[in-house]
Structure 1
Amino acid sequence: MESWLEKRWARPLYLAFVFCLALGLLQAIKLYLRRQRLLRELRHFPAPPTHWFYGHQKLLQDGKMEKLEEFVEKYPCAFPCWVGPFQAFFYVYDPDYAKTFLSRTDPKSKFLYKFLMPCLGKGLVSLDGPEWFQHRHLVTPAFSFNTLKSYVDVMTQSVNIMLGKWEEICGTRDTGVEVFEHISLMTLDILLKCAFSQETNCQINSNHDTYVKAMFDSSKITFYHLYSFLHHHDIIFKFSPEGHRLQEISEVLQQYAEKVIRDRKKSLKDIKNQDNAQKKNYPDFLDILLSAQAENCDSFSDTDLQSEVNTFILAGHDTTAGGISWLLYHLALNPEHQEKCRDEIRSILGDGSSITWDQLSEMSYTTMCIKESLRLAPPIQSISRELSKPITFPDGHSLPAGITVVLSIWGLHHNPAIWEEPKVFDPLRFSLENSDQRHSYSFLPFSAGPRDCIGQHFAMVELKVAIALILLHFKVTPDPTRPLIFLPQVILKPQNGVHLYLKKLSK
């Protein structure tokens, strides 16, 4: 009896084993052929030394920006970058390559944007094709100059809250402060007010807000997912601790946006019934999107609305916080430029009790310093596309469809073939005379072409308001014992914070 049972079960188990072995072998053959195809397609481009299994993953995860700069100098125009043995990205950092690449409408790279999807949803950052064009058209009024003008007072209010915190910390003495966390909460405060007209008090009570914590954790996990090639498989990532945390984050963001949208619709309905008895001082992002939805209800759903709101906050939060923080750090290292900015701002704003839209355009030297800081430390270090058709670059080199091309904005901005002494902070690079002599695709902190950053004017206004008020109230100097170390996640971050000495200025 036992022998008969063994024979009965042995054959199915044997067949199952052979089937699984065959599937595994087919998958291995498929991966091998993929690697050979990539090696063949990229053979014309020399690459840095690579580990047989990890590729350049260690370099990317360790965040060695100096190593990237070495490659930019050593390999003209571009180089292949391997993430594991079977996936290669093609890094470009030459302005002619960038212009050719950005002038097309290739879809976003699935290797990045599928990892962002749980938090962002299908918004402008992740959409492609006609759906992206429709969303871009509907969202554009939210970034018109008339709308941005109304946000200046909101930004001023939030910056002043942060300055009040700094005054309590510093008193009248030079005091060391880790400023990035304060600035990050301040930019989040601005975005929540401009998006939802919400007074969250997040600058004061950030530790108790699950939404704020979710925002801080999202990009770190997304970066880990992207550059750990073993986690490119959805099932492996889903059951990892990081995958579980990302699911929690996406639920927090979704529930928050759903509640705000639901409450706003109810509020608008109540106001309508009360004959507009209450009216806000400015239209926020949600107002403008709800208006667009009312006119396009068949093609702009609540899910679309929610995705664009999350995109606005997530895409605008850490990027602007980084931009302000790096600018403060660069001005601390270069006190002569800090003083020139402060003198210019004082001549325009006086004591800074108020800031108007027209005054922002008068800050010419401060704007040059902002641009130079964005060159040295672009908050978005790279953008990627998956080629939908072959591409030929101006030097005659070509790539086939299917290759993922990454424009390294950091590499472009530190390319010694474009920028003389690229590590030196020199705002005069952005004088009108010098800018006119340079390739138009040499400086791309907000990308370029059909898919340039829709929020770039919002970001520049926020940078100007923040730096003007900060420099009017504080002198900043570096902490030589705690230099800034960049951590290149999806958005450029400080590895150990941004530590500066702050000294309150007398009026």
Structure 2
Amino acid sequence: MATLTTYATGAVLLVVLAYVFFHLATFLKGYIRIRVMLSKFPTDAPSFIFGHLFDYPGPDDAGLAYQRRHITKFPKTSIMWMMNMPMLLVSHPTTVSVILKSSEPKGPFTYDLIRPWIGDGLLTSKGEKWYRNRRLLTPAFHFEILKSYVEIKNRCADLLVEKFLKAAETASSFRVISNVTMHSLDVILRCSMSYETDCQLPGNKHPYVKAVNILSAIMVQRFFQPWFHNDLIFSLTPSGRSFFKQCKYVHHVAETIIQKRQSHLTQDKLDAPEDGRCLDFLDILIRAKDQDGVGLTFREMRDEVDTFLFEGHDTTSSAISWALYSIAGHPDVQRRLQKEIDSVLDNRDNSDVTWEDLSRLPYLTMVIKEAMRLHAPVPFIQRVLTVDTELDGKIAPAGTLVNCVIYNIHHNPAVWPDSLKFDPDRFLPENVEKRQPYSFVPFSAGPRNCIGQNFAMDEIKIILARILHKVTVRIDPDHKVEKLESVVMRAKNDIRLLVSER
């Protein structure tokens, strides 16, 4: 009996060893194949152990300068080795277009960090689920729906403009990012779920607002600490416990609102809600059905609401803040911009920007685009190749992590001469026509582009027009602005501007 047991144990061990050896051999074969194929792409000589890990100065102004030097040397593609992990960088319209025209899934190394918060919504989902939900959500961004949000955006703008006017009265330095972030959060909560938190009011302590602020702050910290990228390890730290606690609370709020809304909505045509409020994002999610008459599950609705909140909050506030910073540093641009805004908004009973006004501000649109080119609110996009893909005459193998570095594309000297100069005239129609497609991709491009880009542009136009119609902004010479590049382009210690009433 003992002999039989020994033989059985030996057989099990052999099977386990064979299984492990097979998968290890398969992994090594695939890894070697990737290394050999990627060796054809240009790169600086890497360290044997650390690769290019210590070549990169960090996610700050020095790191951005390093990136600009890198694309001068390798304008189309290059390989960066992060220890033993290769990353293919694409930084030119001709190469990034190949990636963005595809529906390749997002890279896990960045986007998995925010999955506990936003779940498997449009930003992170892939395959058939992404394709189906993208089609279901597209009606939520029809121009008739976007038109109805203009009133909400103006009411949110009232509060931020008032803060700028108070700063002008007191001649105090105005903290741009912190105040603009609360404005964008106010807009997105009202438009996505008709959820009002008074988050722009001084001293607001609404628990939902507090939770979102904590999540955003911890996300930045986690992004720069690779040893905390693993959820299990991260959950054992104080920051991790706080992060998952706030995720649970934010999910609870969204779920409660969805449940309440489901009990009041009928699953028929997209008519106005009976309570007189604006048709919001959640209304459309609940009523959406595919060709088989099947709608989104409760979890899918929650994930999309949380995704919309994340994507429409920090990214939009970054775009607005850096636009104000650029405008403040260029008085000639500001005067020309104010002249255009005044021609549209003067001699009215109020300063609201109407839906029709949005198309009457071409120079404002150029200024916003140039600010997004210069500062790239979303600095990079990661994808993973599922098939071998040709890039610049070389084959990138399936399984390759590709970094579409939007900041690099927007500063590539082969596309943008004198790329650090702020020049809105780059976006004059005749200049745009001369450039290659995919030269300017602040909202990504192709089938996986930002579904809410028109929503965001409307919000940015409205708030900038409202602010600059009332005040003039200047750079605070006593405050040094330093960039912090993470999932969103931020600034260390905020952006401070001086404000004067017009």
Q: TM-score interval w.r.t. the shorter chain? A: 0.7 to 0.9
Q: 1:263 to 1:175 in 2, by over 3 A?
A: same
User: Within 5 Å, which residues of 2 pair with 1:179-190?
Assistant: 179-190=176-187
Answering whether residue 497 of structure 2 is matched by residue 504 of structure 1, we say: no
The alpha-carbon deviation at position 292 of structure 1 amounts to 1.2
| Overall identity of the aligned pairs, in % | 33
The alpha-carbon deviation at position 441 of structure 1 amounts to 0.9
Report the TM-score when normalising by structure 2: 0.88
The alpha-carbon deviation at position 260 of structure 1 amounts to 1.3
Report the TM-score when normalising by structure 1: 0.87
The alpha-carbon deviation at position 166 of structure 1 amounts to 2.8
Answering whether residue 347 of structure 2 is matched by residue 348 of structure 1, we say: no
Give the structure 2 partner of residue 375 of structure 1: 373
Answering whether residue 483 of structure 2 is matched by residue 486 of structure 1, we say: yes
Give the structure 2 partner of residue 314 of structure 1: 310
Aligned-partner SS, 1:490 = coil
User: Within 5 Å, which residues of 2 pair with 1:14-163?
Assistant: 38-48=34-44, 50=46, 53-57=49-53, 59=56, 61-63=58-60, 64-83=63-82, 85-163=83-161
Contact 2:198 2:204 (C-alpha < 8 Å) held by counterparts: no
Give the structure 1 partner of residue 402 of structure 2: 405
Answering whether residue 226 of structure 2 is matched by residue 246 of structure 1, we say: no
The alpha-carbon deviation at position 264 of structure 1 amounts to 2.1
Give the structure 1 partner of residue 288 of structure 2: 292
Question: Larger deviation: 297-306 or 474-483?
Answer: 297-306
Answering whether residue 276 of structure 2 is matched by residue 280 of structure 1, we say: yes
Task: Tell me the amino acid that sits aligned with residue 108 of structure 1.
Answer: K
Q: 1:496 to 1:29 in 2, by over 3 A?
A: farther
Q: How many residues align?
A: 478
Task: Tell me the amino acid that sits aligned with residue 81 of structure 1.
Answer: M
Aligned-partner SS, 1:208 = coil
Alpha-carbon displacement from aligned partner over 1:45-100 (angstroms, at most 9, x marks no partner):
233465555544563754321111111112231222233x2322211101100111
CA root-mean-square deviation: 2.9
Q: 1:219 to 1:26 in 2, by over 3 A?
A: farther
Give the structure 1 partner of residue 14 of structure 2: none
Give the structure 2 partner of residue 196 of structure 1: 193
Task: Report the Cα distance in structure 2 between the residues aligned to 1:434 and 1:206, rounded to whole angstroms.
Answer: 46
Aligned-partner SS, 2:288 = helix
Q: 1:94 to 1:492 in 2, by over 3 A?
A: same
The alpha-carbon deviation at position 298 of structure 1 amounts to 4.1
Task: Report the Cα distance in structure 1 between the residues aligned to 2:489 and 2:201, rounded to whole angstroms.
Answer: 25
Q: 1:288 to 1:367 in 2, by over 3 A?
A: same
Contact 1:95 1:412 (C-alpha < 8 Å) held by counterparts: yes
Answering whether residue 414 of structure 2 is matched by residue 451 of structure 1, we say: no
Contact 1:179 1:500 (C-alpha < 8 Å) held by counterparts: yes
Task: Tell me the amino acid that sits aligned with residue 422 of structure 1.
Answer: S
Contact 2:444 2:450 (C-alpha < 8 Å) held by counterparts: yes
Answering whether residue 166 of structure 2 is matched by residue 168 of structure 1, we say: yes
Task: Report the Cα distance in structure 2 between the residues aligned to 1:230 and 1:175, rounded to whole angstroms.
Answer: 41
Task: Report the Cα distance in structure 2 between the residues aligned to 1:206 and 1:24, rounded to whole angstroms.
Answer: 58
Give the structure 2 partner of residue 396 of structure 1: 393
Alpha-carbon displacement from aligned partner over 1:190-231 (angstroms, at most 9, x marks no partner):
111111112210111565133223323434544554554434
Contact 2:57 2:66 (C-alpha < 8 Å) held by counterparts: no
Task: Report the Cα distance in structure 2 between the residues aligned to 1:416 and 1:283, rounded to whole angstroms.
Answer: 45
The alpha-carbon deviation at position 178 of structure 1 amounts to 1.0
Contact 2:154 2:463 (C-alpha < 8 Å) held by counterparts: yes
Task: Tell me the amino acid that sits aligned with residue 306 of structure 1.
Answer: R
Task: Tell me the amino acid that sits aligned with residue 79 of structure 1.
Answer: S
Contact 2:174 2:497 (C-alpha < 8 Å) held by counterparts: yes
Q: 1:189 to 1:297 in 2, by over 3 A?
A: farther
Task: Report the Cα distance in structure 2 between the residues aligned to 1:355 and 1:498, rounded to whole angstroms.
Answer: 25
Task: Report the Cα distance in structure 1 between the residues aligned to 2:341 and 2:301, rounded to whole angstroms.
Answer: 38
Alpha-carbon displacement from aligned partner over 1:229-287 (angstroms, at most 9, x marks no partner):
43444433332334323312321221110111122234448xx9xxx995324201111
Task: Report the Cα distance in structure 2 between the residues aligned to 1:496 and 1:70, rounded to whole angstroms.
Answer: 26
Task: Report the Cα distance in structure 1 between the residues aligned to 2:29 and 2:227, rounded to whole angstroms.
Answer: 19
Task: Report the Cα distance in structure 2 between the residues aligned to 1:70 and 1:162, rounded to whole angstroms.
Answer: 38
Aligned-partner SS, 1:503 = strand
Contact 1:220 1:490 (C-alpha < 8 Å) held by counterparts: no
Aligned-partner SS, 2:137 = helix
Question: Larger deviation: 118-127 or 108-117?
Answer: 108-117
Give the structure 1 partner of residue 7 of structure 2: none
The alpha-carbon deviation at position 494 of structure 1 amounts to 1.1
Task: Report the Cα distance in structure 2 between the residues aligned to 1:88 and 1:402, rounded to whole angstroms.
Answer: 10
Task: Tell me the amino acid that sits aligned with residue 145 of structure 2.
Answer: T
Task: Tell me the amino acid that sits aligned with residue 291 of structure 1.
Answer: R
The alpha-carbon deviation at position 295 of structure 1 amounts to 9.1
Segments of structure 1 that go 5 or more residues without pairing to the other structure are 1-22
Task: Report the Cα distance in structure 2 between the residues aligned to 1:107 and 1:371, rounded to whole angstroms.
Answer: 27
Q: 1:48 to 1:366 in 2, by over 3 A?
A: same
The alpha-carbon deviation at position 481 of structure 1 amounts to 2.6
The alpha-carbon deviation at position 28 of structure 1 amounts to 10
Contact 2:473 2:497 (C-alpha < 8 Å) held by counterparts: yes
Give the structure 1 partner of residue 335 of structure 2: 339
The alpha-carbon deviation at position 459 of structure 1 amounts to 0.8
Aligned-partner SS, 1:175 = coil
Aligned-partner SS, 1:310 = helix
Give the structure 1 partner of residue 8 of structure 2: none
Aligned-partner SS, 2:500 = strand
Question: Larger deviation: 210-219 or 223-232?
Answer: 223-232
As a proportion of its length, which structure holds more helix? 1
Q: 1:50 to 1:233 in 2, by over 3 A?
A: farther
Contact 1:57 1:227 (C-alpha < 8 Å) held by counterparts: no
Task: Tell me the amino acid that sits aligned with residue 134 of structure 1.
Answer: R
Answering whether residue 359 of structure 2 is matched by residue 361 of structure 1, we say: yes
Task: Report the Cα distance in structure 2 between the residues aligned to 1:385 and 1:346, rounded to whole angstroms.
Answer: 43
The alpha-carbon deviation at position 299 of structure 1 amounts to 4.6
Give the structure 2 partner of residue 14 of structure 1: none
Contact 1:415 1:422 (C-alpha < 8 Å) held by counterparts: yes
The alpha-carbon deviation at position 39 of structure 1 amounts to 3.8
The alpha-carbon deviation at position 165 of structure 1 amounts to 2.4
Which residue, 194, 211, 215 being the options, matches 2:212?
Answer: 215
Task: Tell me the amino acid that sits aligned with residue 345 of structure 1.
Answer: I
The alpha-carbon deviation at position 112 of structure 1 amounts to 2.1
